[in-house]
Structure 1
């Protein structure tokens, strides 16, 4: 039951964010601050909930290779989206969130296999904080580009469903496999998350709220670190 509750909470952030962006768009500074805070939390989650557990089950060099591969694959896909769709359109941001969110939610499903509740809460909370303002900004951009409110909400709801399925798949399909392959999947997901922070989250946060972006990142790190310490 906890599995589905956590997945529901993290995925519903997309729908809540879309409603926020459609009916009461956040200011650029508020959006930037929340995005930066989420990015700080995801740094801790990627290391503490993905890389550290993976290091206990596989060799360091293999882990680092797959970690780098995850970052490279995400960067290649993100670059393709930017060149072919254009992320400022809203639709491009939607596609980026799907591609970013799939490894994130696979990772969430994997973490749910063995992690303590506070550890799961840290990763789920980080994903929630990340998805909420991104969906708000994307929905706002789509509305500005002529999408109807109903179509915009429908697209973001479908995205939430896809990412929920990814988390469920991560939890149900990956739980029976050996620890070493599972560790490599965790490493790949961590690389994709870190690459998304460098190319998407932090640049956006700085553009929108450069004066407080650093403070927001530190706050996100502090929140996630605290949850991790409690869970540990």
Structure 2
């Protein structure tokens, strides 16, 4: 089950990148899907990362880890845009990588002894967010004239890196304290929240205007449904 889930979640990046590079999806549809993913990520960050961590570590330290994750993401995103320019997909790639590494570490640990419905809820939320984000980032890179094969290779390499993170979490972090894992989850949540504010929702609004609000709400509903299903 562990490797199947990891492959499915990481494959979303590759499928999304292929979709963004070679697909013919309209900008408004893409924006709607990105906002949908953003709404789902919003719920996942709170219910599946921050809320459980708040019961496993001192609340102030857990919240400080959230702030640290957001702060580190903002700094890295700023330098990515300074080096490569805004609007070229680099920001979304940074978002997926920075929140994805601790998120997949936590996913790997969550797979240890977890029941199938809980695993499905967590991996479903990650899949739902990775697919359109990868599509949007790869499309922006392709629109800026970068070599399509190099773009695809970059996203495949990112998928491999995140897969390694999940495997490492499953094999190496099984015996670490719950408090330490809580800090990893909170750091990931902070990066997720910052990426939503800086990358995901602004891009979605640019493509799909006010329908973005409806899409985000649908994403929230879907993520809550998945979380509820995992808790039954």
Could you tell me the TM-score, scaled by structure 2's length?
Answer: 0.90
Q: Whole-Å Cα distance in 1 between the matches of residues 103 and 230 of structure 2? A: 20
Partner of 1:172: 171
Does structure 1 retain, via aligned residues, the 8 Å contact 2:70–2:192?
yes
5 Å-filtered alignment, 1:36-185, equals 36-91=35-90, 93-113=92-112, 115-185=114-184
Q: Whole-Å Cα distance in 2 between the matches of residues 72 and 40 of structure 1? A: 21
**How far is 1:95 from its partner?**
4.0
Which consecutive residues of structure 1, in runs of 5 or more, have no partner in the other structure? Answer: none
Q: Whole-Å Cα distance in 2 between the matches of residues 77 and 141 of structure 1? A: 19
User: C-alpha deviations, 1:18-45, integer Å up to 9, x for none?
Assistant: 2112222321111111111111111111
Q: Whole-Å Cα distance in 1 between the matches of residues 8 and 89 of structure 2? A: 23
CA 1:93–1:65: 2 relative to 1, 3 Å = closer
Equivalenced residues, count:
231
5 Å-filtered alignment, 1:196-211, equals 196-211=195-210
Select between 139-148 and 129-138 the one with higher mean Cα deviation. Answer: 139-148
Matched residue of 1:97: which SS?
helix
Does structure 1 retain, via aligned residues, the 8 Å contact 2:13–2:156?
yes
User: C-alpha deviations, 1:122-144, integer Å up to 9, x for none?
Assistant: 23222222222222223223333
Partner of 1:12: 11
Matched residue of 2:3: which SS?
helix
Partner of 2:32: 33
RMSD: 1.9
Does structure 1 retain, via aligned residues, the 8 Å contact 2:70–2:190?
yes
Does structure 2 retain, via aligned residues, the 8 Å contact 1:25–1:136?
no
Select between 10-19 and 147-156 the one with higher mean Cα deviation. Answer: 147-156
Q: Whole-Å Cα distance in 2 between the matches of residues 109 and 169 of structure 1? A: 7
Matched residue of 1:188: which SS?
helix
User: C-alpha deviations, 1:151-206, integer Å up to 9, x for none?
Assistant: 32222211111111112122222221011111111111111111111111111111
Which consecutive residues of structure 2, in runs of 5 or more, have no partner in the other structure? Answer: none
Does structure 2 retain, via aligned residues, the 8 Å contact 1:25–1:140?
no
Matched residue of 1:113: which SS?
coil
Q: Whole-Å Cα distance in 2 between the matches of residues 92 and 180 of structure 1? A: 30
User: C-alpha deviations, 1:69-114, integer Å up to 9, x for none?
Assistant: 1111111111111122224223554344323322332232233235
